[in-house]
Amino acid sequence: MTEEVLCPDEPATRALGRELGRRLSPGDLVLVDGELGTGKTVFVRGLAEGLGIDPDEVASPTFAIVHEYGPPGRPPVLVHVDLYRLLGAPDEPRQVADLGLSDARESGAVLAVEWPGGVWDSEAAYRVSLRVAEGGGRRVSLSGPVPSVRRR
Protein backbone atom coordinates (compact mmCIF):
# COMPACT_ATOMS: atom_id res chain seq x y z
CA MET A 1 0.00 0.00 0.00
CA THR A 2 1.33 3.44 -0.91
CA GLU A 3 0.47 6.59 0.99
CA GLU A 4 0.86 10.07 -0.53
CA VAL A 5 1.50 12.98 1.83
CA LEU A 6 1.92 16.67 1.02
CA CYS A 7 4.51 18.29 3.29
CA PRO A 8 4.29 22.08 2.95
CA ASP A 9 7.72 22.74 4.51
CA GLU A 10 10.85 21.21 6.07
CA PRO A 11 9.33 20.84 9.57
CA ALA A 12 6.46 18.81 8.08
CA THR A 13 8.90 16.64 6.11
CA ARG A 14 10.94 16.02 9.26
CA ALA A 15 7.75 15.25 11.24
CA LEU A 16 6.75 12.64 8.67
CA GLY A 17 10.19 11.04 9.01
CA ARG A 18 9.85 11.11 12.81
CA GLU A 19 6.48 9.33 12.55
CA LEU A 20 7.98 6.57 10.41
CA GLY A 21 11.03 6.35 12.69
CA ARG A 22 8.80 5.56 15.65
CA ARG A 23 7.34 2.56 13.77
CA LEU A 24 10.67 1.04 12.69
CA SER A 25 12.18 -2.12 14.12
CA PRO A 26 15.86 -3.07 14.40
CA GLY A 27 17.22 -4.15 11.02
CA ASP A 28 14.59 -2.30 8.96
CA LEU A 29 15.56 -0.83 5.61
CA VAL A 30 14.34 2.59 4.45
CA LEU A 31 15.06 3.58 0.83
CA VAL A 32 14.83 7.34 0.28
CA ASP A 33 14.64 8.56 -3.30
CA GLY A 34 14.30 12.03 -4.81
CA GLU A 35 16.13 14.61 -6.85
CA LEU A 36 18.79 16.87 -5.36
CA GLY A 37 17.31 19.29 -2.84
CA THR A 38 14.00 17.49 -2.27
CA GLY A 39 14.59 16.93 1.44
CA LYS A 40 15.97 13.40 1.69
CA THR A 41 18.34 14.26 4.54
CA VAL A 42 15.62 16.34 6.25
CA PHE A 43 13.42 13.24 6.17
CA VAL A 44 16.24 11.10 7.62
CA ARG A 45 16.73 13.66 10.42
CA GLY A 46 13.10 12.95 11.31
CA LEU A 47 13.75 9.19 11.18
CA ALA A 48 16.65 9.70 13.58
CA GLU A 49 14.48 11.69 15.94
CA GLY A 50 11.83 8.95 15.89
CA LEU A 51 14.56 6.45 16.79
CA GLY A 52 15.68 8.56 19.77
CA ILE A 53 18.72 10.13 18.09
CA ASP A 54 19.42 13.87 18.20
CA PRO A 55 18.38 15.00 14.70
CA ASP A 56 20.92 17.84 14.80
CA GLU A 57 23.68 15.20 14.66
CA VAL A 58 22.46 13.95 11.27
CA ALA A 59 24.37 15.32 8.28
CA SER A 60 24.25 14.40 4.62
CA PRO A 61 26.62 11.50 3.94
CA THR A 62 27.15 12.51 0.29
CA PHE A 63 30.94 12.68 0.56
CA ALA A 64 31.50 10.20 3.42
CA ILE A 65 28.94 7.78 1.88
CA VAL A 66 28.07 6.30 5.32
CA HIS A 67 27.33 7.92 8.70
CA GLU A 68 26.49 5.92 11.82
CA TYR A 69 24.47 7.23 14.75
CA GLY A 70 23.91 5.77 18.19
CA PRO A 71 25.32 5.56 21.71
CA PRO A 72 29.14 5.67 21.95
CA GLY A 73 30.74 2.25 22.30
CA ARG A 74 27.63 0.40 21.13
CA PRO A 75 26.42 -0.74 17.70
CA PRO A 76 24.76 2.06 15.72
CA VAL A 77 21.00 2.55 15.92
CA LEU A 78 20.88 4.25 12.51
CA VAL A 79 23.18 3.87 9.52
CA HIS A 80 22.61 6.66 7.00
CA VAL A 81 23.95 6.01 3.51
CA ASP A 82 24.13 8.13 0.35
CA LEU A 83 24.91 6.09 -2.77
CA TYR A 84 24.83 9.04 -5.20
CA ARG A 85 28.56 8.84 -5.92
CA LEU A 86 28.35 5.09 -6.59
CA LEU A 87 25.32 5.13 -8.92
CA GLY A 88 26.07 3.73 -12.34
CA ALA A 89 29.60 2.59 -11.50
CA PRO A 90 30.39 -0.65 -13.33
CA ASP A 91 31.04 -2.39 -10.01
CA GLU A 92 28.27 -0.62 -8.04
CA PRO A 93 26.84 -3.82 -6.46
CA ARG A 94 30.29 -4.88 -5.24
CA GLN A 95 31.08 -1.40 -3.90
CA VAL A 96 27.78 -1.35 -2.02
CA ALA A 97 28.42 -4.86 -0.65
CA ASP A 98 31.88 -3.73 0.54
CA LEU A 99 30.28 -1.04 2.76
CA GLY A 100 29.23 -3.69 5.30
CA LEU A 101 25.61 -2.56 5.39
CA SER A 102 24.26 -6.09 5.81
CA ASP A 103 26.38 -6.48 8.94
CA ALA A 104 24.97 -3.23 10.34
CA ARG A 105 21.40 -4.44 9.78
CA GLU A 106 22.16 -7.81 11.31
CA SER A 107 23.47 -6.04 14.41
CA GLY A 108 20.11 -4.23 14.67
CA ALA A 109 20.74 -0.89 12.98
CA VAL A 110 18.03 0.71 10.90
CA LEU A 111 19.49 1.39 7.46
CA ALA A 112 18.39 4.57 5.66
CA VAL A 113 19.68 4.72 2.07
CA GLU A 114 19.53 7.86 -0.06
CA TRP A 115 19.91 7.34 -3.82
CA PRO A 116 19.38 3.57 -3.46
CA GLY A 117 19.56 2.77 -7.18
CA GLY A 118 18.59 -0.77 -8.12
CA VAL A 119 20.78 -2.61 -5.63
CA TRP A 120 17.94 -2.98 -3.11
CA ASP A 121 15.09 -3.89 -5.49
CA SER A 122 14.58 -7.38 -4.07
CA GLU A 123 14.68 -6.29 -0.42
CA ALA A 124 11.64 -5.84 1.83
CA ALA A 125 11.90 -2.14 2.59
CA TYR A 126 10.09 1.04 3.38
CA ARG A 127 10.24 3.11 0.21
CA VAL A 128 10.09 6.89 0.44
CA SER A 129 10.00 9.10 -2.63
CA LEU A 130 10.19 12.89 -2.32
CA ARG A 131 9.23 15.24 -5.15
CA VAL A 132 8.85 19.01 -5.31
CA ALA A 133 5.13 19.80 -5.19
CA GLU A 134 3.43 22.40 -7.32
CA GLY A 135 3.52 25.65 -5.38
CA GLY A 136 6.37 24.49 -3.12
CA GLY A 137 6.58 21.91 -0.41
CA ARG A 138 7.15 18.24 -1.03
CA ARG A 139 4.96 15.40 -2.18
CA VAL A 140 6.07 12.28 -0.33
CA SER A 141 5.11 8.73 -1.33
CA LEU A 142 5.53 6.11 1.39
CA SER A 143 5.17 2.36 1.09
CA GLY A 144 6.18 -0.36 3.49
CA PRO A 145 7.40 -3.93 3.41
CA VAL A 146 4.97 -6.80 3.37
CA PRO A 147 4.57 -7.72 7.07
CA SER A 148 5.14 -11.44 6.48
CA VAL A 149 8.62 -10.81 5.03
CA ARG A 150 9.59 -7.96 7.31
CA ARG A 151 12.72 -8.57 9.35
CA ARG A 152 12.31 -8.83 13.11
152 band by pLDDT with thresholds 50, 70 and 90? very low
pLDDT computed for residue 119 by the predictor: 79
Question: Residue 12: what pLDDT?
Answer: 96
**Residue 68 in domain:** yes
What is the model's pTM?
A: 0.90
- Residue 76, domain member (yes or no): yes
Higher pLDDT, 148 or 49: 49
> Can you give the three-state secondary structure of the chain, one letter per residue?
CEEEEEECCHHHHHHHHHHHHHHCCCCCEEEEEECCCCCHHHHHHHHHHHCCCCHHHCCCCCCCCEEEECCCCCCCCEEEEECHHHCCCCCHHHHHHCCCHHHHHHCCCEEEEECCCCCCCCCCCEEEEEEECCCCCEEEEEECCCHHHCCC
Q: Is the residue at 149 inside a domain? A: no
99 in a domain, yes or no?
Answer: yes
Which whole number is the average pLDDT over 10-20? 96
Q: Is residue 150 part of a domain?
A: no
Which CATH number do you get for residue 88?
3.40.50.300
Summarize the confidence of residues 70-91 as an average pLDDT: 86
